[in-house]
Homo-oligomer: A and B are copies of this chain.
Amino acid sequence: MMTAVPYKIYLSEKELPKNWYNLKAVMKELPPPPLHPATLKPCTEDDLKPVFCTKLVQQEMNTKDKYIEIPQGLMDFYKMIRPSPLIRAYNLENMLDTPAEIYYKFEGTNTSGSHKLNSAAAQVYYAKEQGITRLTTETGAGQWGTALAMACAYYGIDLTVYMVKISSQQKPYRKAVIETYGGKVVPSPSDTTEAGRKILADMPGTGGSLGCAISEAIEMALKTENCRYVLGSVLDHVLLHQSIIGEETKVACEKYGIVPDVIIGCMGGGSNFGGLIAPFMGDRIAGKNNIRFIGIEPASCPSLTRGKYAYDFGDTGKTTPLMKMYTLGSGFIPSPSHAGGLRYHGMRPILSKLSDDGYLEAATVTQTKAFEAATTFARCEGILPAPESSHALYAAIDEAKKCKEAGEKKTIIFGLSGTGYFDLSAYMSYNDGSMKDYIPTDEELEKGFATLPKVE
């Protein structure tokens, strides 16, 4: 007999996955390769090695190995921060009076508050292994910077975080956490780089941007001895590391006989959602299941739902390799939204390709609907969700309501990628009714598309 499903499923240490799941090794067709922005030829490992750690570049290029072993020195870190719980939303089900079974994989129990730490730890581990002593990165809202600072403190690596200046002023507590973990925070634009000095000269009063912070972090990495740059999203090796989320979920499902019909996640660059679905998607591609995978985007930044499938830059500064992806154009500036982690103009190439091939659905949710769902959820499930995660939550509730109407008993899993602890000003604006929704007009999208590079 199958054991009854408890509220919270925590895998034991022995049950933790020992490998990451490499989606590219099981896809029937691979995404077109990234192109060097100068030559427009496919990027080689050598193109990337001055910027990124060597092992990460190799993982980025790996299309052969379905499983990639998690090294022991990293497993020790993972044992400290994982497993994350898979939680049966019994209370939400009762409140909705739905025949559906709802589960969520909650990545917000670690101190950084989100899934970001899974890749931060891996990237810092490989830097350490390579003898790298310093890392640089950028951070907007601060989740990635916090995660990286935690990993750098553990492995003894110096860290400089270029934090978008306006964020560093508006989120002093995020800065405080990074500093408590020994990271150095530099408000960007700064006078520590050419890129920063140029922007400061051109726009003295600017609050900065993620694009500018990226440029500064890469420049500093290139000009500093024994230093590399690390990135928390978009790249394939980041998705690889995040597959630990999906693998834990799969082990838990198998242990308790849970057979998902639908898996839902929020999508910015798609790391969290891609990681959650990876092993399930692999089985789907192999014809072993028929799960619906639904990625939820903010209505204010609908790359997969309203974007074009085209080669584009990964950053607004147009310095990264060109990637074939669903994109709104690197020049598309999403309207302000409290789900900062979802404000990205493109969708990572792997998910774009899977979407193009019909394996993935996408939908949008406005932020007020997301916060409405978040408040309902917080009150009955006891967890305050991050604004990003609340987009997925809304869709899961919506799906469960449809089950009620249809009298169908589906099993729904969604990714709750983080806590809302550091987003309380957003909750305040929802509570006092001042939160607004933004949906770009077709005209605004056209302006973004006009910034797409010409690639034959």
Contacts and interface: CB of A to CB of B under 8 A. Distances in A.
Interface of A: 6-8, 10, 12-14, 76-77, 79-81, 90-91, 109-111, 150, 153-154, 172-173, 176-177, 179-182, 375, 378-384, 419, 421-422, 424-425, 427-428, 431
A111 B382 contact: yes
A150 B422 CA distance: 18
24 contacts: A7-B79, A7-B80, A8-B13, A8-B79, A10-B10, A76-B90, A80-B381, A81-B382, A111-B382, A111-B419, A153-B378, A153-B380, A154-B379, A172-B428, A173-B424, A176-B424, A176-B427, A176-B428, A177-B384, A179-B431, A180-B375, A180-B378, A180-B384, A180-B431
A6 B79 contact: yes
Contact residues of A: prevailing secondary structure: helix
Nearest to A117: B382
Given A8-B13, A173-B425, A181-B379, 6 more contacts: A6-B12, A7-B80, A80-B91, A153-B378, A153-B380, A180-B378
Given A79-B8, A91-B80, A380 B154 contact: yes
Nearest to A78: B7
A427 B111 CA distance: 15
Nearest to A429: B176
A8 B8 CA distance: 15
Contact of A109 (B109, B177, B179): B109
Contacts of A422: 421
A384 B111 contact: yes
A42 to B, nearest CB: 39
Number of copies: 2
Give the residue among A111, A181, A382 with the most B Cβ atoms within 10 A. Answer: A382
A180 B382 CA distance: 11
A8 to B, nearest CB: 7
A264 to B, nearest CB: 21
Contacts of A181: 378-379
Contacts of A383: 111
Contacts of A427: 176-177, 180
Nearest to A376: B153
Contacts of A13: 6-8
A379 B80 CA distance: 12
Contacts of A14: 6
Nearest to A180: B427
A200 B319 CA distance: 61
B6 A378 contact: no
A177 B424 contact: yes
A187 to B, nearest CB: 15
A79 B5 CA distance: 12
A427 B154 CA distance: 19
A153 B95 CA distance: 12
Contacts of A177: 384, 424, 427
Contacts of A428: 172-173, 176
Nearest to A110: B382
Contacts of A76: 90
Contacts of A431: 176, 179-180
Nearest to A179: B431
Nearest to A419: B111
Contacts of A424: 172-173, 176-177
Nearest to A422: B421
Contacts of A90: 76
A419 B173 CA distance: 14
A425 B175 CA distance: 11
The 6 closest A-B pairs by CB, nearest first: A6-B13, A153-B379, A173-B424, A10-B10, A7-B79, A176-B424
A294 to B, nearest CB: 26
Contacts of A81: 382
A181 B379 CA distance: 6
A90 B80 CA distance: 9
A351 B172 CA distance: 39
Given A13-B8, A154-B91, A80 B382 contact: yes
Contacts of A111: 378, 382-384, 419
Contacts of A419: 111
Nearest to A384: B111
